[in-house]
Amino acid sequence: MKQEYGKGYQWCHRKIKGHGYRMTLGREAILDVLSQADEHLSAEDIYMRVHKIYPNIGLTSIYRTLDILDTIGLVNKFDFGHGRARYELAESSSGKNHHHHLVCTGCGHIVDYTDFIDEEVALLKKTEEGLSRKYKFTITNHLIQFYGVCESCSERK
Amino acid sequence: MKQEYGKGYQWCHRKIKGHGYRMTLGREAILDVLSQADEHLSAEDIYMRVHKIYPNIGLTSIYRTLDILDTIGLVNKFDFGHGRARYELAESSSGKNHHHHLVCTGCGHIVDYTDFIDEEVALLKKTEEGLSRKYKFTITNHLIQFYGVCESCSERK
DNA sequence: TATGTAAACGGTAATCATTATCATTTCATT
DNA sequence: AATGAAATGATAATGATTACCGTTTACATA
Q: Once rounded to an integer, what is the mean pLDDT over residues A16-45?
A: 95
Backbone angles phi, psi at A152, to 5 degrees: -70, -30
Q: Which class in CATH covers the domain with range B1-94?
A: mainly alpha
Chain-centre distance for alpha carbon A24: 20
Query: How large is the angle between the packed helices B9-18 and B25-36, nearest 10 degrees?
Result: 130
Q: Which of B113, B120, B137 sits opposite A123 (nearest CB)?
A: B120
pLDDT tens, residue by residue, A46-60: 999 999 999 999 999
What fold is seen in the domain A97-157? Dna Ligase; domain 1 (3.30.1490)
The beta-strand segments (E) located in chain B are 41-42, 75-79, 85-89, 100-104, 110-113, 138-149
B142 chain-A contacts, CB cut-off 8 A: 144-147
Query: For C11, which residue's CA is nearest its C1'?
Result: A58
By the CB < 8 Å criterion, does A149 face chain B?
A: yes
Compute chain B's Rg from CA coordinates. Answer: 17
The minimal CB distance from A115 to the residues B111, B134, B142 is found for B134
C-alpha A109/C-alpha A150 separation (Å) is: 8
CA-based nearest residue to A58, from A37, A43, A42: A43
Distance in angstroms: CA B87, C1' C23: 30
Which CATH number, 1.10.357.10, 1.10.10.10, 1.20.210.10, 3.40.50.620, labels domain A1-92? 1.10.10.10
- Structural domain boundaries in chain B: 1-94, 97-157
pLDDT per residue as tens digits for the range B59-89 = 999 999 999 999 999 999 999 988 999 999 9
pLDDT at A2: 43
pTM for this model (two decimals): 0.90
Contact A144 B139 (CB under 8 A): no
On strand D, nucleotides with any atom < 7 Å from a protein CB are: 6-11, 15-20, 25-28
Are A140 and B147 in contact (CB < 8 Å)?
Answer: yes
Q: Does B135 touch chain A (CB under 8 A)?
A: yes
CB count within 10 Å of CB B99 equals 16
Question: What is the per-residue DSSP string for A51-88?
Answer: HHH-TT--HHHHHHHHHHHHHTTSEEEEE-SSSSEEEE
- From first to last of the 157 residues of chain B, give the pLDDT tens digit: 445 566 778 889 999 999 999 999 999 999 999 999 989 999 999 999 999 999 999 999 999 999 999 999 999 999 998 899 999 999 888 888 899 999 998 889 999 999 888 898 899 999 999 999 999 999 999 999 999 999 999 887 5
